[in-house]
């Protein structure tokens, strides 16, 4: 009989177990359904592991009640995460507010988190290939049932098994059914931080990456905007600007993106400069009109869809220039859906936060049951916010056992 069973060997589960070991507490068992710990950690931040951000304010988090995250983020925020890893010999570096391990390699983080669990008798604390299929509570104790027929009992259970995203990395959404069986309710789930499907761009621009300001609309209703990387992919668009608007797609009926590929300049400024370019370089092809402002392939594409590719710069009228600028400053791309949970980085939705204590992360419905990280109805923007949330919630829950 253990004091605690932790379900899920991802970032949140590993942080929690390390916190217990920091306090010389080994009365726990970590159950991980896959054959390795922390698989999803290795693919975060394009394999560099974006751990946190200099700005972790609640405005970067989403859910029915995003303010639920405020207490844990304040108490166990960016500086606490830095200190946690520094105490284990891992330093962080920052790029545009985003924190990464100094090596820029996600394995550095995973190695740090699993070292004490893998060594020094730690294997007694871990059970891999342990898929949980049921949880019951009787006489003040929890029994956790495994797919292979095994079972373990403990006074407390922490569910740190993530959401439904990144399927194939150990997160398939099965934890939601376990929590429903214990009386919890789950909000509608949708993929977030995910590529969006659109046929607006064809294949010519595949692989082109550009900075852009992306605004999401539902019919004429404005939803949100983000600025950042924008990447053209097969049958859709990607990049952190797209990822950040993707969490709001589920609430739309007729979504479309309005994309500004030159957000740092006004239409008027660009038109004025291009009129000078046309006067000076009138002998050049019209496909060069936006060269120097955007990627050359994007320049050619904008001119082509504007019906101007067979002209020279000198043949362009003021209306032609205004049309091209209007498109590069506000191209409209209807959205046909997302690439789904298998491609998404995080799940939007989860266990309703009004059923969980915001300071201890203990269930209000079942004593001794704790829920942390992505399993809850809290998800963050792209930029280290989701690992920070996993850390903050795991640290808060760990304090109940040290």
Read off the tokens for 306.
Answer: 């504007």
Local structure of residue 139 (DSSP, 8 states): T
DSSP annotation string for 80-105? HHHHHHHTTT--EEEETTEEEETT--
| Whether residues 126 and 17 fall in one domain | yes
- Contact residues for 352 (Cβ-Cβ < 8 A; gap 6+): 64, 184, 185, 186, 187, 377
| Whether residues 302 and 244 fall in one domain | yes
| Whether residues 134 and 6 fall in one domain | yes
Rounded (10°) CA dihedral 289, 290, 296, 302: -90
| Whether residues 176 and 305 fall in one domain | no
Of 312, 339, 366, the residue that ends a domain is 339
| Whether residues 324 and 347 fall in one domain | no
CA distance 250 to 196: 12
CA distance 201 to 211: 16
- Contact residues for 142 (Cβ-Cβ < 8 A; gap 6+): 5, 135, 136, 153, 154, 155, 156, 157, 368, 369
Domain that holds residue 268: 195-339
| Whether residues 294 and 327 fall in one domain | yes
| Whether residues 95 and 179 fall in one domain | yes
Counting the structural domains of the chain, the total is: 2
| Whether residues 175 and 210 fall in one domain | no
Read off the tokens for 167.
Answer: 């399927």
Strand partners, 333: 257
* CATH code of residue 139: 3.50.50.60
Backbone angles phi, psi at 80, to 5 degrees: -65, -40
| Whether residues 381 and 308 fall in one domain | no
* The residue to which tokens 């989701």 are assigned: 386
| Whether residues 80 and 116 fall in one domain | yes
pTM of the model: 0.93
- pLDDT, tens digit only, all 402 positions of the chain: 899 999 999 999 999 999 999 999 999 999 999 999 999 999 888 899 999 999 999 999 999 999 999 999 999 999 999 999 999 999 999 999 999 999 999 999 999 999 988 875 556 899 999 999 999 999 999 999 999 999 999 999 999 999 999 776 767 889 999 999 999 999 999 999 999 999 999 899 999 999 999 999 999 999 999 999 999 999 999 999 999 999 999 999 999 999 999 999 999 999 999 999 999 999 999 999 999 999 999 999 999 999 999 999 999 999 999 999 999 999 999 999 999 999 999 999 999 999 999 999 999 999 999 999 999 999 999 999 999 999 999 999 999 998
């Amino acid at each position: 009989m253990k004091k605690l069973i932790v379900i899920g060997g991802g970032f949140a589960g590993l942080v929690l177990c390390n916190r217990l070991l920091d306090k010389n507490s080994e009365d726990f068992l970590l159950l991980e359904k896959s054959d390795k710990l922390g698989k999803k950690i290795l693919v975060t931040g394009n394999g560099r592991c974006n751990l946190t951000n200099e700005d972790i304010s609640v405005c970067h988090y989403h859910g029915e009640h995003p303010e639920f995250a405020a207490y844990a983020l304040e108490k166990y925020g960016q500086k606490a995460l830095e200190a946690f890893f520094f105490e284990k010999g891992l330093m962080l570096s920052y790029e545009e507010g985003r924190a990464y391990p100094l090596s820029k390699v996600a394995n550095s983080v995973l190695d740090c988190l699993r070292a004490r669990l893998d060594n020094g008798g730690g294997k007694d604390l871990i059970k891999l290939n342990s898929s949980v299929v049921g949880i019951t509570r009787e006489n003040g104790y929890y029994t956790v049932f495994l797919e292979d027929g095994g079972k373990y009992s403990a006074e407390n259970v922490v569910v740190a098994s993530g959401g439904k995203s990144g399927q194939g990395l150990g997160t398939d959404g099965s934890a939601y059914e376990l929590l429903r069986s214990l009386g919890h309710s789950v909000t509608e789930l949708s993929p977030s931080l995910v590529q969006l499907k659109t046929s607006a761009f064809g294949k010519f621009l595949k692989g082109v990456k550009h900075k852009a300001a992306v605004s999401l609309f539902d019919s004429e209703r404005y939803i949100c905007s983000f600025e950042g990387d924008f990447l053209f992919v097969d049958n859709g668009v990607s990049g952190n600007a797209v990822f950040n608007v993707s969490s709001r797609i589920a609430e739309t009926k007729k979504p479309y993106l309005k994309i500004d590929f030159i957000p740092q300049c006004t239409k008027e400024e660009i038109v004025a400069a291009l009129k000078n370019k046309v006067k000076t370089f009138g002998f050049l092809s019209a496909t060069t009109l936006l060269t120097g402002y955007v990627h050359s392939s994007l320049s050619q594409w904008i001119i082509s869809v504007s019906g101007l590719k067979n002209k020279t710069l000198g043949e362009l009228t003021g209306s032609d220039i205004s049309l091209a600028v209007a498109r590069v400053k506000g191209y409209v791309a209807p959205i046909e859906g997302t690439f789904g949970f298998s491609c998404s980085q995080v799940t939007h939705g989860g266990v309703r936060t009004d059923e969980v204590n915001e300071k201890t992360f203990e269930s209000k419905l079942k004593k001794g049951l704790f829920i942390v990280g992505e399993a809850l109805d809290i998800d963050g923007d792209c930029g280290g916010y989701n690992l920070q949330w996993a850390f903050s919630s795991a640290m808060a829950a760990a304090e109940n056992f040290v």
